[in-house]
A and B are shown apart, each in its own frame.
Chain A
Amino acid sequence: MTDSLTTQQITSAEIRAHLRERSSATLRRRMATSRIMTILCWLAISLAAVPLVALLIRLFEKGTPVLLKSGFFTQLPQQPTLFDQTNTGGVSNAIIGSIAIIAYATLASIPIGIVVGIYTAESDSKFASTIRVVASTMVGAPSILMGLFAFGLIVVQLHLGFSILAGSFAVSVLMLPVLIGSTEIAVRNVPPTLREAGLALGAKPSTTSLRIVLPAATTGIVTGAILAISRAVGETAPVLLVIGGAYAITWKPNDPGSALPVTMNSYVASNFDSLKDLAWGIGLLLVLVIFVLSFAARIWAARKQKVQR
């Protein structure tokens, strides 16, 4: 090729005709590509959805009869024998234990997590950014670490024994980084011009944070808290190591207790099919609780948003 243009005589009509031909060919190719891509997308979606749907179907199929069985919610566990395999009792102790653990953990972690989250959102000090890094690392840390930590601190060092308190402690350590992260995001999402408006009215920075920024971030903070709770509900590992496993109903923090995921864990490993079935029921119950919590969080956030916008 030389730098000069080819000197063949091509009319503009010929250029137009050529363009038409090429563009319709291009269009056909693009349509075909688009169709293939759509098919691939659906394939990927099915690959992701099939195991999930299969799991849910199996869970409802196996779990529903268990939940409907009399005594599941109200009776204490029984040890089935070879002569009476169906004598499994219920899981009332684990339900109460789980509620107690989550309640204590929530009471402890929510105030701390929210305050720390506000601090990391408002401060750009070295200390704040250290907390931020630690918190985001902890979110991804294996949850059994929290169990080990609670075991080392509460059970061994402080001699408080295997207990509901130790379980709550482990769960609250698990919830804290989630709460810090979600609170920080919620506070940071408040438009800076609201803060400026407060300061421009002569409000102190602390007043501005408490009375303007924080209320505007409430929706995000509460949604984050509900999601943190729903994450904690199903956690087995941190509680497993320190809960003690008692067959009695108790709310007392210093008693050994039981929890739904832990009970499920031990029933799955049982030799009795009747106990394995019970584990399905517990699984379904946990999934339902988590579903209700996340659903509530979404509805609440959507309604709040509508009022404010």
Chain B
Amino acid sequence: MTEHTVNMLKAVQEQEIVDPRTGPIAMRLSDVSVAFNGRTAVRDVTFDVPANNVTALIGPSGSGKTTLLRSLNRLHDLTKGAKVSGKIMLGEDDVYGGNIPVTVLRSRIGMVFQRPNPFPTMSLYDNVVSGLRFNGVKKKSILDAAVEESLKAAALWDEIKDRLKAHGSTLSGGQQQRLCIARALAVEPEVLLMDEPTSALDPIATQKIEELISQLKSRVTIVIVTHNMQQAARVSDLTAFLLMGEDRAGEQIEVAPTLKLFSQPDDPRTMDYIQGRFG
């Protein structure tokens, strides 16, 4: 048994598990469904995302983790035939209510993608400040400060501070992903969505990103999709387990504090999944 598991069991035995949802809430999902051309891909998901915590979405392929994540920052708006129903609240604002422009909303909810995707024609510096520039920030002093601050937050400053004019392609995969995290942080989002951010990275780069996630939660609420259960157990405070239903639509099986979900889940299907019996 690993040290981690031992600690987890100890915590469980001592009943130290605190539900992070008892604190402030960053986003509320109620009855969220996503359909593409009339076919439901995710059905009736309801849970609260605790502020300044890490919430993991886990489940086998096809369970709708990524689909659900992309509904949080309205990225499905781009897809023809996609329809999101139910209600998603960001603080006091209705994400799909139409009161806040989608551009403002997306700068309040940042996103990091599966594969590092720095803008290929821009320098490292320009990549980091791109979100600020797109939203009209021009003042050099502010841009400079944002570059240093977000690169430090993404644990990349020391590695690249002497070559900010270089292109993103000169970095390793892990560095590129941290650059993308810095780029997302530079617009000071309240929530950061991460879609399997380490699936294209080697174990060492993965470990760095995981450490970073733990450091970042004091600053930003994180929702992370991962197909790696160990990763969910390592980095998250709350875990939502999704599973593909009989009509191939993703359904929410169980949402619980990570320690509880991985040690004594309420639903037998959760137990089967975390013990590796399917998926």
Contacts and interface: CB of A to CB of B under 8 A. Distances in A.
Q: Do A and B come from one complex?
A: yes
Interface centre among A200, A204, A208 (most CB of B within 10 A): A200
A198 B127 CA distance: 10
A51 interface: no
Contact of A309 (B111, B117, B169): B169
B222 interface: no
Interface stretch (A83-91, A95-103, A172-180, A212-220): A212-220
Contacts of A124: 80
Nearest to B180: A197
B121 interface: yes
A63 to B, nearest CB: 42
B119 A212 contact: yes
B111 A200 contact: yes
A309 B169 CA distance: 5
Given A207-B134, A308-B169, A199 B120 contact: no
B261 interface: no
B169 A198 contact: no
Interface string A201-230: 111100110011001101000000000000
B117 to A, nearest CB: 5
Nearest to B110: A200
B80 A201 contact: no
Contacts of A273: none
Interface in A22-62: none
Interface of chain A, helix or strand or loop or mixed? helix
Contacts of A200: 73, 75, 106, 110-111, 184, 193
**Size bracket of the A interface:** 20 to 34
A177 to B, nearest CB: 26
B121 A196 contact: no
A197 B187 CA distance: 13
B134 A193 contact: no
B117 A307 contact: no
Contact of B78 (A194, A196, A307): A196
A202 B135 contact: yes
A203 B134 contact: yes
A191 interface: yes
Interface in B120-140: 120-122, 130-131, 134-135
Nearest to B111: A200
Contact of B107 (A197, A202, A212, A218): A202
Q: Enumerate the 6 nearest inter-chain pairs by beta-carbon distance, A residue then B residue, closest first.
A: A202-B107, A201-B131, A203-B134, A200-B111, A215-B121, A308-B120
Given A124-B80, A201-B131, A203-B135, 11 more contacts: A196-B113, A197-B111, A197-B113, A201-B107, A203-B103, A207-B134, A208-B134, A215-B119, A308-B121, A308-B167, A309-B169
